[in-house]
Structure 1
Amino acid sequence: MKIKSPRLSLALKFALSFGSIFIITTFAFEGFVSETSEHFMEREIDNRLQTKVRDLSDAYELGGITLIQDLIERRIHQENPETEIYLLTDASYNKLSGNILTWPEDVPKIPSWAEVEDEHDNPVEYRFLSVGLGDQYHLLLGLDTFKEEELEDQLFLIFLAALLVSLTGGAIVGFILHKSLKERLELINDTCSEIMLGRFSKRIPVSKTSDEIDTLAHTLNGMLDRIETLMDGIRHVTDNIAHDLRTPLTRLHGRLERLVPLTENEDNRKLVESAITEVDQLLVTFAALLSITRLETGELETNFNPISLSTLIEDAIDIYEPIAEDKGQKIVLEDNLKVHSSLGTILGDRDLITQCFSNVIDNALKYGPADSTITIRLFPSDKGAKVVIHDQGSGIPKDEQSKVLERFYRVESSRNLPGNGLGLSLAAAVIRIHNGQLKLENHNGFQVELTLAMQ
């Protein structure tokens, strides 16, 4: 079974999370710096305005209105009228001197600070300071805030460029991190998938970085070493028990067969034949149990080759048709794979697949009623080739369907029938090592659905 990868990898989630935090932090820092620089520039402009107002106020105190008018006129001619504004008015706000005609409408006619925007085609914001000179005159000075706005624009462009560079670098680093972490995690997933198929000798590769993933790999490899040791111990015990018991059972089977012709009493002969049947069943049980153990532990050698499912099923039907006829049953094959000859070939072990199908067909014949039909359907699907074996029996309760795949488990209603409860367990083990799927379902009887990946 292949472990399904998540839609968003852990590395990608980290990259997106850190990227989002970085972007939010960058914008917050840009806002803070912008506000700080704006406040600093305003203070600079205010200090310049206060200095100019103080100079003109001192001139008024020294030489009266004539001196301050001459001073304003000189400054108007010396300085750029588009960056500095001067206006001296009388008590009625009539112009006496300056480089603008009237008092701006947006500037309060009281001593205060104000900030307004010029109404030309290229609007410029001005910072104004108005004061009174005694009770007879009013003085208004203004400075443009172009440099402040220019600084804000430059800061924004700098932060935007830094953000783009950081995002590009972060995307590259994130991609590299995502690819590296994904490759290393996929190695762990692939190794775990191999182990789930019974290949306990597989180990997780360890890199030379000695990071947390390598520590995890060392820990998992140590655990796998311990599991393999335990599985080897269980396998050896199972093999020893099976071999130790199979030998005397085989010997007992031979002695009982020699005893049959020597037994003259009919009742005694039936007892001996019954004992032979029981010994045969024990031998079959031990053989099935050993096969399941070796399949699950990966000890059983497999020979994977291209196999035609249609041919394999037809061969199995030929074997079981005489048994079905004895019970009045009929086996019907619906093969939709022959129409698509390229879709009916799988890669697998012929002997194991044959044994798997034989067990399922044998169960269908055993638990299907007399004079019933066993239907076998073959057809392609998205996940591979499907084989559905359907009988008209009473089926298996839904809450017990997963349990019948366990060793020796038998449904209560079938305990009086011959069997050892290993047929479906062996079929499930075979399908598992072929990366297939086995599904049980009650559907107008009972059906076993087997899915095998096509070549």
Structure 2
Amino acid sequence: MALPERIHRALSTTSFRVAAITVAAYLAFAGLVVGVLLWQTNRVLTSQVLATLGGEAQLLKAEAQAGGGPAIVRAVETRSRSGAPGLYYLADASGTKLAGNLNRLPPEIVGSPNGGVFRYAPDAISATEHLAVAIPVDIGGGLQLIVGRDVEDQRRFASEMGTVYFLALGFLTLGGLVAGFAISRVALRRIETINVTARSIMAGDLTRRIALSGAADEYDALAANLNDMLDRIEALMNGLREVSDNIAHDLKTPLTRLRNSAEAALRDSGEVAYREGLEHTIEKADELIKTFNSLLLVARLEAGALEGNAERFDVGSAVRDVAELYEPVAEERGMLLEVNIGAGPEFTGNRQLIVQAVVNLIENAIKYSGKPDPKRELSISIDLRDNPNDIEIVVADNGPGIALEDRERVLKRFVRLEKSRTEPGTGLGLSLVQAVARLHGGAVRLEDNAPGLRVVLQLPKRALGS
């Protein structure tokens, strides 16, 4: 008869197989222990019986030596009382029984110098034989003496112990299999919850997440990690859609200008017009190539393609060199560029990418801080914070800043706020900075500089093997 589907699935799970293997291994070990215990129990009982027989044999031998034949006969008759555990058989040289409670000389003992185990009937009407142990005793004078003990109680005790041991193993086996089945059912329910969510997501509902049980166990940890992964996938999908929309919006204008420049050059006659048209076309094409190169670099950074290009370098010196290059540019815009950075610290990472990220932050600060105002001096400050666990590169300005609700959005690709669309750019600067930070295990924070914007590039000191 086929098992129900739910039971069959529970028995087919890895949890049940692991439980069954564990129970089998435990039973093998427990069986070995039980065998050793039974052997040890039997050995102890046997040793006790043999020690008792040896002591009694010495006493009887001493009485025989002291009082001769009549004395040993009386001693055997005294010890052969009905109900006593001792077994005796005394015979003369011809084999005639003289005393004892055994009705015959056990054939298993005959010819054996060390004695042995035999079976005997306790009385004439009993059909049940008992197990006994006996040893021959040399008392001289041609007499034959066998001293034994009924060990039926010990045998029964050992048998009962073996039965208890094996019943315990049976109950342990049953309990282990039932526990394994119960564990597999619990695991199956938790996994089925994940499967249901996965099927919903594959059907197109990217907002579904795996519910946590609140037990804070490994299943909750797995569910939390999967939910984080799904959040990341959803963010990437949304980012892809947003990038597609932004590409269509932001690249359509330069492509249209490129076409218009070429068309205007065709309308105008003369070598000078053609040359100017081609120069304008090349400039706009260079801007497009720069945009696509930046987009490609961001994509490669987010994929971790440049993760292996790490080196040890002085962050302070690198940032200071970049700032010195942009001091003339800031002066031309009527801005004051303050660099508050000394030597160090040492950092292991991709030097070229970190320098590019700092370049983007300084360019953005210069470009979007606003126009010179006689009433207020525009300034940009660059600081470096050497914290115990990370390094923070801070670029701050006193321009118009970015509203709180827009700070998360401007880190995405091709996002340009309306007030910044009058300035040339691709909307990829901050997204590249964020990609560099993620590559090094860090983050980018946009904070209020009151007034202006403060951008913090945080790089953990253990980034890329440091």
- Give the TM-score of the pair, scaled to structure 2: 0.48
